[in-house]
Amino acid sequence: MNIGIICYPTFGGSGVIATELGKALADKGHQVHFISYDQPVRIDAFTENLFYHEASFNDYPLFKYPPYESALTSKIVDIVKANNLEVLHVHYAIPHAAAAVMAKYILKREGISIKIVTTLHGTDITLVGKDKSFEPVVSYSLHESDVVTAVSESLKEDTYKYFNYGEPITVVPNFIDFKRFNKQPKDHFKKAIAPNGEKILVHTSNFRKVKRVPDVLDIYRKVCSEVPAKLLLIGDGPERMAVEEECRECDICKDVTFLGKQEAVEEILSVADLFIIPSETESFGLAALEAMACEVPVISTNTGGLPEVNIDGITGFTSDVGDIEKMGSDAIHILQDSNLAQFKKQAKEHSLKYKLENILPLYEALY
């Protein structure tokens, strides 16, 4: 089958999922054509059956903002015609779904039929999409798609809630690469971080307010009152400076390490004992799943898609947003030597449900 994939080319979750999906489809013999403003970051070498097409535009003085959506639409039309594409798989509603729908109707006038699969990833519905300035376009794009998928049951329900959309939505969860995300022995690394056998807690995010990173510090302080522990904070973003200042003020700086953005996050997860994700909302919780694949149990909130990934009492524990007391107590429970090994084992076992080979056939069936 000839498939076009339209996605953001960045490190964000939707771009990573779209790229890994395209690579897997190409490995199975499908012709896959990526269309975006830049080459997706995970496409780093020539791969048979996989092609990239840049949607570029001229920066005319007339335009205050470059007309990317129009350029993308024109590129989609060109690539569909030149490569006989049968399906467009669009990741993230704005602006990709709208551009695909526009291209579909341009092609229809020329007697060319193309089907659209739109995958919703989260903020394209829960944050950006429900903005009144975008809502009519997103609603129309959903209605004009041939298939709509969401990465969690929670996101599916949010879509029905925020948009006048009555057609079926298929839930196809995210997946991870288990060749990459697995327990890797790094004893020397662990010894350097926790020389006295302290437990290692990890949080990774883009340090936005919705991630509630100060809650991570509060949970960590509660854990330290009973369990010797170190905290690793991975990522960067607008809230990082405030969090660093809080660390200095409460005198825990020496036990908290800010690692910034890390490409090989799986190596850090491999030495962790507990992953903390106290977000205000998560449509899926891919970071939690990556931790579980590395045998790391999870403390999370019970919002959005997180309870679908982190099974309360099995792979870790879930709590209401902001319930530091419970999250801290649950963390201490998991970190007890009599409990930790079992939680690690259960986290790994559950994560295996999200193997790419389990998810890929679901998308192929939709195509």
Q: Has residue 360 been placed in a domain?
A: no
| pLDDT for 135 | 83
Same domain assignment for residues 124 and 219: no
Same domain assignment for residues 213 and 118: no
Same domain assignment for residues 273 and 213: yes
Same domain assignment for residues 18 and 124: yes
Same domain assignment for residues 168 and 215: no
Same domain assignment for residues 136 and 252: no
Q: Has residue 361 been placed in a domain?
A: no
Same domain assignment for residues 130 and 256: no
Q: Has residue 113 been placed in a domain?
A: yes
Same domain assignment for residues 48 and 91: yes
Last residue of a domain, one of 112, 142, 172: 172
pLDDT tens across the length of the chain (367 residues): 999 999 988 756 788 889 899 999 999 999 999 999 888 776 766 778 999 999 887 666 666 666 778 889 999 999 999 999 999 999 988 889 999 999 999 999 999 999 999 999 887 777 665 667 778 888 899 999 999 999 999 999 999 988 878 899 999 999 988 888 888 877 788 888 999 999 999 999 889 999 999 999 999 999 999 999 999 999 898 999 999 888 888 777 789 999 998 878 899 999 999 999 999 989 899 999 999 999 999 999 999 999 999 999 999 999 999 999 999 999 999 999 999 999 999 999 999 999 999 999 999 999 9
In the chain, the number of structural domains is 2
pLDDT tens column, 156-195: 999 998 887 889 999 999 998 888 888 887 778 888 899 9
Same domain assignment for residues 288 and 207: yes
Q: Has residue 367 been placed in a domain?
A: no
Last residue of a domain, one of 104, 137, 172: 172
Q: How far apart are CA 288 and CA 348, in angstroms?
A: 11
Taken in order 184, 318, 316, 169, the sign of the CA dihedral is negative
Same domain assignment for residues 215 and 345: yes
| pLDDT for 185 | 75
Same domain assignment for residues 110 and 234: no
Give me the CATH number covering residue 306: 3.40.50.2000
Same domain assignment for residues 279 and 222: yes
Domain encompassing residue 204 = 187-353
pLDDT tens column, 12-71: 678 888 989 999 999 999 999 999 988 877 676 677 899 999 988 766 666 666 677 888
Q: Has residue 363 been placed in a domain?
A: no
Predicted TM-score (pTM) of the model is: 0.87
Q: Has residue 177 been placed in a domain?
A: no
